[in-house]
Chains A and B, each alone.
Chain A
Amino acid sequence: MASLSSFFVLSPRGDTIIKKEYRFSLGQSGAEKDLKSSVEMFFRKVKFWDTSKDGGWDGPDEARAEADESENFDMPKVDAPPVFLLDGESFLHIKRSGLIFGCATRYNVSPSQTLELLAKIAKIFKDYCGTLSEEAIRKNFILLYELLDEMLDYGYPQVTSTEQLKMFVYNEPIVTTPIVTEKTKGSNGKTASAASVHKPVSVGGVSSGKSGKNEIFVDILERLNVLFSANGYVLNSSIDGCIQMKSYLSGNPELRLALNEDLVVGKGNGQSYGAVVLDDLNFHDCVNLSEFDGSRTLSFYAPDGEFVLLNYRIASEFRVPFKIMPAIEMVTPTKLEIMLTVRNEIPAENYGANVVCRIPLPRATATVFCEMLGAAAGVEQTAEHLASERVVEWKVKKFSGASELSMKIKLSLDSPSTLQTRKEIGPISLGFEIPMFNVSNLQVRYLRIAETSPSPFRWVRYVTQSSSYVCRL
């Protein structure tokens, strides 16, 4: 039994934008419990998650912070877990673009399956609205209710694929232009991923020709997790990769996508030199794997809208694109100098975009002076001390391959430096994006589309991003 009692979408401020109740539950008083008040309660819980009394069910050894921490030492916001119990109901939620997609249930559901369902609903909302934002949802709420009615009946999932839903939908999407904030990833045109194409899928009834181009976007996206020790040695590294697609192909033709022929899956399988070795990978439901073992080719009927064709994972060592080399020198007991060098080791024809390096500073920091050294002409970079967060943020707009940048931070302290002061510096984190480059060498050899008559546009892109790219001091 896996039925939901309600589904809702909340704005970042907690306003209910969409809600639908499936199982009317009786409260203790016998009166029907008000969904509105329980959603409000849920939101408060998410917003001010209290680790000291988290519903009583979160294992005894986890997040048991004492209540006597009133001194408000350094309390970063605690993120509420995505699943928790509240007043006899389990609430599950995911966050997408600042919005909360949530549901409540009284049954002992599979939490993974339920979260997958929420993610699917969010994806479908995005496919149909073109973009996921409070405004887009508010403007399209009738369309979304229509979709929701087909996706969930009496709390059970029904039709959940974008193309099948087209048959049932009669409302047309109202397109909103996404607000391009500075934070939006890939403000740089070339690194913009397929996900940043804000175009709703064409809706049934309406001829697909109207929405224009017959095209498909393919992103080979790799997120890097690297941990350096203070002397530049890589302690731990892994790649979380995926091939992400966004399809606007009319008629859902069959596609064939070929990967490197020398691709090796699994550790310890006899591997030739230079082969791409993946620890493991998984595929979208639509993929037919009959040819994968032989020729590393996938065939599939691309579903409409956005989807992840496959995910892969590499835990073995690889050439890291950026090396971080820090050095701390104590000039006087109250003066420290942090010398930081970042070397970009990718080929010179590539570059790192929007490189952001953050260096946490000790509590006793009084004044900070940053000095960027030895930059070649034309390197656009800034360094800023964010006093409230106690970090120095060093930004480089475009960091060319095979080059090196350095910065010196001069700190003066309120009190003489101690062991603890030194410990408070770091870890240094690096955020970046490298367009048209991937670390693993996984390649899309070709992407063929069965029906060739109006040859669709195929946009294939490689992007490497930082995930947790950290250097310890």
Chain B
Amino acid sequence: MNTTATSRSAFPGPSQSHNQPQPGGNGSVDPAATNNNVKAGAGDSYFVDAKKGEVNELRTLLRTFSLEKTLTRKREIIKKVIAYMTLGIDVSRLLPDMLLVIETRDLVIKKMVYLYLCTYASTSEEVAIMCINTLMKDCSNDDPMVRGLALRSLTSLRLKSVVEYVMEPLRKSLDDANAYVRKTAVLGVLKLHDLSHPVTTFLPRLTELLDDSDPAVVSNCISVLNELNADTGGMEVTRDVMLKLLNRLGTFNEFGLAEVLNLLCRYTPTDKNETFQIMNLLDPVLRTSNSGSVLAVIKSFLHLTNTMEELRPMVYERVKPPILTLIAGGGPEQIYVLLKHVKYLCEANPGMFDNEYRQLYVRYNEPTSIKYLKLSILPKLASADTAVDIITELCEYVSENDIRMAKLAIEAIAKVATERACQGTTAGGIGEIVTGKLVELCSLDGGPVSSAAACALKDVLRAHPNSRFSVAPVLGRCLKLGGEEKGKASLVWMIGEFGDIVIEAPYVLEKLVDSWDENEELVKLSLLTACVKLFFKRPPEMQAILGRLLTHATNDVSSQDLHDRALLYYRLLKAGPEKAEKVVNGGEQVIEPSKGFAEDDEEATIKALREEFNTLSIVYGSKSAHFIGEQYRLGSANSVAEITDAFANTSVAPIQPDVTAAPTQPTPEPPQSNDDAYADLLGFADSPPTPPSASVPAAAPQTSAMNLNKSFAIDGGKFQGMWQSLPEASSSMSAMSKNYTVGEIDGLLTGVGILTMASGEMDAEFKFFLYAQDVDTGSVYLLQLVIDKMCEPRVCSLSIKTDTGGEGAEVVAKMLGGVLGNAGM
């Protein structure tokens, strides 16, 4: 296949003209081109004809179908068509012939034809419509298998024009006596929805089916309701539904179980007792050999203990053995994912796997993806007690044949010295051990291993400056060994940094300066820095060298960066060496070993990822918002669930915890213009932070063009229903001028007649469900306001739904914006 593809793309022109032969046009064609045409065209046409030939042959064969006597021969014919389809050959042209075969009682043939239809129906809608009758007839066949099969195919055709025909069989099938048909129908609703056909009429039935006797129907129902309600965070989770599902947990297969456990992560038990009951119920699942189920239970445990921090250590202790057992017994793919979760748990809960560090040593027969992953976990397991063992083990990996492995092992060794293990009294000792090992590797042979060790050494010394005395004597010798660019640059940097104790420093650097052109860019850059720093420490020895260096560097046209940096140093020095020293040496920065480097600071991510435990986010180490398309995400699942749950149980707007804080004088911090400028520069804010509007909240009602009914009331169920059924009328985003609390916002909005249904404060955002009624027209507006606390200034996004068909939504949005003093809402 590959060769044909390349040969075709090599002659794009000719093959095109071959496909559209122009009668009588031959005479005017350039002879060379014709020649070319013939050559390339011949090869191409052979390919096309061959394909056409095959498909034509199939067609002939299909026409003999009805003449064939035996079933096996008939099956063989259809099988051939499917075989071609699988090979990627386009057999869509056989659609009319395949339709003739559809009337058959043989289920094997039927299934094959349906498979074909689901693949090709959308290529030619008009022709495909001919199959609808048969499919509809099969939907009321006596055999439930046939009914289910037909319905599945009917809903999988992806033909907008037949959607109308599907509604009726679908409605009937949702009530079918057979669970197989019902479960197929449930997914059918979703398929219809994805063809942008309204399915609201089915919603009540779907909700009923959550109680179905068959667990497969129920789990499909959960999936479908979750997707239909994706923008409000998924299916509504009430106590009633949740407890019913939990009570029959044992009947679900592992995938149904996963669905239920996912729902559980959006449910908050009413009291501690219930929490414990649920946890006891889930505990046996930890003993199963399905890694997905075990991780789902762990996620549920983490969620259930959200408000009970004191239970967390017990949870971690409980889930540790099952994870390790799964790692011991699973396939390499599962192990990879589990290890990613182990890594996350080590970050979220340092120390959790410390005493099991031997279980996570690299094994020689593992895939490299697992080996490399383990290398990134091992330093995280190093505590004061285990650090030495782990360093020794990592050193063994350095001598592996795999050079990547060796480099990663060196990085890992350095990490032991810069991370958690180095807190407290043992820090110096571990730093010294690591430095010793790295120095040994560094002075090895000037190969890639030595270079990697040099890079690592530089980082370790930033955290353990006291170890510099054991490093200083060997730096010059190491540099002589040569090595990779990065390694050499690190060595040069260290020579400059610790030049006061590296006796031969000026001579080593001088050599490099005098062979300027032979150095790589990175080496040149760090040579510049090193020489300038050394100049401040040992001016008499360095003056002449520095002069030569600056001449070289400013004349070097190979790198703009180099040129500019040289000029900067030159001008600084011109302004006076003292001033220059202040700038260049600007304060010693020793890295706090326990904190690690700034770029490694992942605390915010760790917190955000807890919500996304047991998802791809943990594997990628990044929030889902960064890699999952908007339409494929549940609208911030957790937060909404808490709110919807709150108003499912009560028809009164729940009291916000912050409401007592409302009377206190709002003390908005004046936005610091500097910060704003930076934020804007880096594009942190979703919308450009405009200067806060002058209008103070009190003046806001001026902008209102609508009189809102302040005593209007609506209950939670109705709100929920309307919110689901109404289309979005308006949505907007804007920056907020002040950092209000939940209570303040509630107060301000109530003042103008925008009332709160429910509100809540999450880790990263405030969320409000609001409603309002226009006194004059009586129309109702439902609002969802989400304020992102992480941004500075805060950004709020507002979406409005209304029964007016969109009229007035903008006015309400303006009013809200005015009250909150938002710019550009």
Task: Report which of B296, B329, B444 forms a contact with A313, defined as CB distance below 8 A.
Answer: B329
Q: Of the listed stretches B36-44, B204-212, B282-290, B745-753, name the one at the interface; the rest are far from the partner chain.
A: B282-290
Separation of A154 and B152 alpha carbons in the complex (Å): 9
Tell me if A62 and B376 are in contact (CB < 8 A).
Answer: yes
Tell me if A236 and B358 are in contact (CB < 8 A).
Answer: yes
Separation of A281 and B634 alpha carbons in the complex (Å): 35
Residue of B nearest to A282 (CB): B289
Q: Of the listed stretches B333-341, B422-430, B734-742, name the one at the interface; the rest are far from the partner chain.
A: B333-341
Tell me if B358 and A116 are in contact (CB < 8 A).
Answer: no
CB distance from A139 to the nearest CB of B (A): 11
* Residue A63 CB within 8 A of the other chain: yes
Tell me if B325 and A108 are in contact (CB < 8 A).
Answer: no
Separation of A313 and B372 alpha carbons in the complex (Å): 23
Residue of B nearest to A118 (CB): B333
Interface string of A391-417 (1 = CB under 8 A from B): 000000000000000000000000000
Chain B interface, DSSP helix/strand/loop, else mixed: helix
Interface string of A57-81 (1 = CB under 8 A from B): 1111111111011000111111111
Which of B220, B411, B615, B619 counts the most A-chain CB atoms under 10 A from its CB?
B619
Task: Report which of B324, B370, B376, B633 forms a contact with A59, defined as CB distance below 8 A.
Answer: B376
Tell me if A36 and B88 are in contact (CB < 8 A).
Answer: yes
Contacts of A154 in B (CB 8 A): 156, 187, 190-191
Tell me if B86 and A73 are in contact (CB < 8 A).
Answer: no
Tell me if A159 and B399 are in contact (CB < 8 A).
Answer: no
* Residue B59 CB within 8 A of the other chain: no
Separation of A95 and B599 alpha carbons in the complex (Å): 36
Contacts of B365 in A (CB 8 A): 429, 467-468
* Residue B112 CB within 8 A of the other chain: yes
Interface string of B620-635 (1 = CB under 8 A from A): 1110100111001110
* Residue B402 CB within 8 A of the other chain: yes
Contacts of A27 in B (CB 8 A): none
Tell me if B615 and A109 are in contact (CB < 8 A).
Answer: yes
Residue of B nearest to A157 (CB): B255
CB distance from B416 to the nearest CB of A (A): 12
Contacts of B158 in A (CB 8 A): 24
A-B contact pairs, 21 of them (CB 8 A): A1-B234, A62-B408, A66-B484, A74-B402, A81-B336, A90-B616, A108-B633, A110-B615, A111-B337, A112-B294, A112-B337, A113-B254, A114-B292, A115-B337, A116-B290, A141-B86, A142-B82, A156-B255, A282-B322, A289-B287, A427-B396
Separation of A156 and B224 alpha carbons in the complex (Å): 10
Tell me if B115 and A145 are in contact (CB < 8 A).
Answer: yes
Interface size on B, residues (CB 8 A): 114
Separation of A118 and B255 alpha carbons in the complex (Å): 12
Which of B367, B444, B618 counts the most A-chain CB atoms under 10 A from its CB?
B367
Contacts of A360 in B (CB 8 A): 401
* Residue A161 CB within 8 A of the other chain: yes
Separation of A340 and B142 alpha carbons in the complex (Å): 74
CB distance from B227 to the nearest CB of A (A): 6
Interface string of A1-35 (1 = CB under 8 A from B): 11100000000000011110001100000000000
* Residue B486 CB within 8 A of the other chain: yes
Task: Report which of B336, B411, B486 forms a contact with A82, defined as CB distance below 8 A.
Answer: B336
Contacts of B700 in A (CB 8 A): none
Tell me if B255 and A1 are in contact (CB < 8 A).
Answer: no
- Check A160/B83 contact, CB under 8 A, given A1-B230, A85-B620, A154-B191: no
* Residue B404 CB within 8 A of the other chain: yes
Residue of B nearest to A82 (CB): B333
Contacts of A94 in B (CB 8 A): 331, 333
**Residues of chain B in range 186-222 having any CB-CB distance to chain A below 8 Å:** 187, 190-191, 194, 216, 220
Tell me if B363 and A109 are in contact (CB < 8 A).
Answer: no
Task: Report which of A63, A77, A240 forms a contact with B329, defined as CB distance below 8 A.
Answer: A240
Contacts of B152 in A (CB 8 A): 149, 153
Separation of A73 and B347 alpha carbons in the complex (Å): 34
Interface string of B547-590 (1 = CB under 8 A from A): 00000000000000000000000000000000000000000000
Task: Report which of B86, B226, B343, B620 forms a contact with A1, defined as CB distance below 8 A.
Answer: B226
Tell me if A108 and B616 are in contact (CB < 8 A).
Answer: yes
Measuring CB to CB, which residues of chain B are less than 8 angstroms from any residue of chain A?
A: 79, 82-83, 86-88, 107-108, 111-112, 115, 145, 152, 156, 158, 183-184, 187, 190-191, 194, 216, 220, 223, 226-227, 230, 234, 253-255, 258-259, 262, 284, 286-296, 321-322, 324-326, 328-329, 331-334, 336-338, 340, 343, 356, 358-359, 361, 363-370, 372-373, 375-376, 396, 399, 401-404, 407-408, 411, 415, 444-445, 447-448, 484-486, 599-600, 612, 614-622, 624, 627-629, 632-634
Separation of A283 and B616 alpha carbons in the complex (Å): 26
- Check A113/B296 contact, CB under 8 A, given A83-B616, A225-B363: yes
Contacts of B216 in A (CB 8 A): 158-159
Tell me if A108 and B617 are in contact (CB < 8 A).
Answer: yes
Contacts of B485 in A (CB 8 A): 68
Tell me if A59 and B621 are in contact (CB < 8 A).
Answer: yes
Tell me if A420 and B359 are in contact (CB < 8 A).
Answer: no
Tell me if B629 and A88 are in contact (CB < 8 A).
Answer: yes
Tell me if B632 and A18 are in contact (CB < 8 A).
Answer: no
CB distance from A292 to the nearest CB of B (A): 9
Residue of A nearest to B627 (CB): A85
Tell me if A17 and B86 are in contact (CB < 8 A).
Answer: yes
Tell me if B288 and A284 are in contact (CB < 8 A).
Answer: yes
Tell me if B253 and A160 are in contact (CB < 8 A).
Answer: yes
CB distance from A51 to the nearest CB of B (A): 6
* Residue A310 CB within 8 A of the other chain: yes
Tell me if A81 and B334 are in contact (CB < 8 A).
Answer: no
CB distance from B360 to the nearest CB of A (A): 11
Which of A76, A167, A266, A308 counts the most B-chain CB atoms under 10 A from its CB?
A76
CB distance from B188 to the nearest CB of A (A): 9
Tell me if A156 and B628 are in contact (CB < 8 A).
Answer: no
Tell me if B287 and A112 are in contact (CB < 8 A).
Answer: no
- Check A61/B376 contact, CB under 8 A, given A159-B216, A238-B328: yes
Contacts of A65 in B (CB 8 A): 404, 407-408
CB distance from B635 to the nearest CB of A (A): 11
Tell me if B290 and A283 are in contact (CB < 8 A).
Answer: no
- Check A311/B328 contact, CB under 8 A, given A236-B358, A468-B363: yes
- Check A170/B254 contact, CB under 8 A, given A110-B614, A141-B83: no
Tell me if B622 and A3 are in contact (CB < 8 A).
Answer: no
Task: Report which of B88, B329, B616 forms a contact with A16, defined as CB distance below 8 A.
Answer: B88
Contacts of B288 in A (CB 8 A): 282-285
Residue of B nearest to A88 (CB): B629
- Check A68/B363 contact, CB under 8 A, given A1-B227, A24-B158, A424-B399: no
Tell me if A73 and B448 are in contact (CB < 8 A).
Answer: yes
Residue of B nearest to A172 (CB): B108
Closest A-B pairs by Cβ, 5 of them: A113-B292, A468-B363, A311-B329, A57-B620, A79-B367
* Residue A343 CB within 8 A of the other chain: no
Separation of A24 and B123 alpha carbons in the complex (Å): 13
CB distance from A105 to the nearest CB of B (A): 8
Separation of A117 and B296 alpha carbons in the complex (Å): 15
CB distance from A225 to the nearest CB of B (A): 6
* Residue A324 CB within 8 A of the other chain: no
- Check A420/B634 contact, CB under 8 A, given A78-B368, A284-B288: no
New contact pairs (19) apart from A240-B329, A285-B254, A312-B329, CB-CB < 8 Å: A2-B223, A65-B408, A76-B368, A76-B401, A82-B336, A108-B612, A108-B628, A110-B296, A111-B615, A113-B291, A116-B290, A146-B108, A146-B111, A153-B184, A282-B329, A311-B328, A390-B401, A420-B445, A468-B365
Contacts of A171 in B (CB 8 A): 108
Tell me if A149 and B115 are in contact (CB < 8 A).
Answer: yes
Contacts of A345 in B (CB 8 A): none
- Check A311/B290 contact, CB under 8 A, given A106-B632, A116-B334, A472-B396: no
Residue of A nearest to B623 (CB): A108
CB distance from B660 to the nearest CB of A (A): 37
Tell me if A312 and B404 are in contact (CB < 8 A).
Answer: no
* Residue A126 CB within 8 A of the other chain: no
Separation of A271 and B337 alpha carbons in the complex (Å): 34
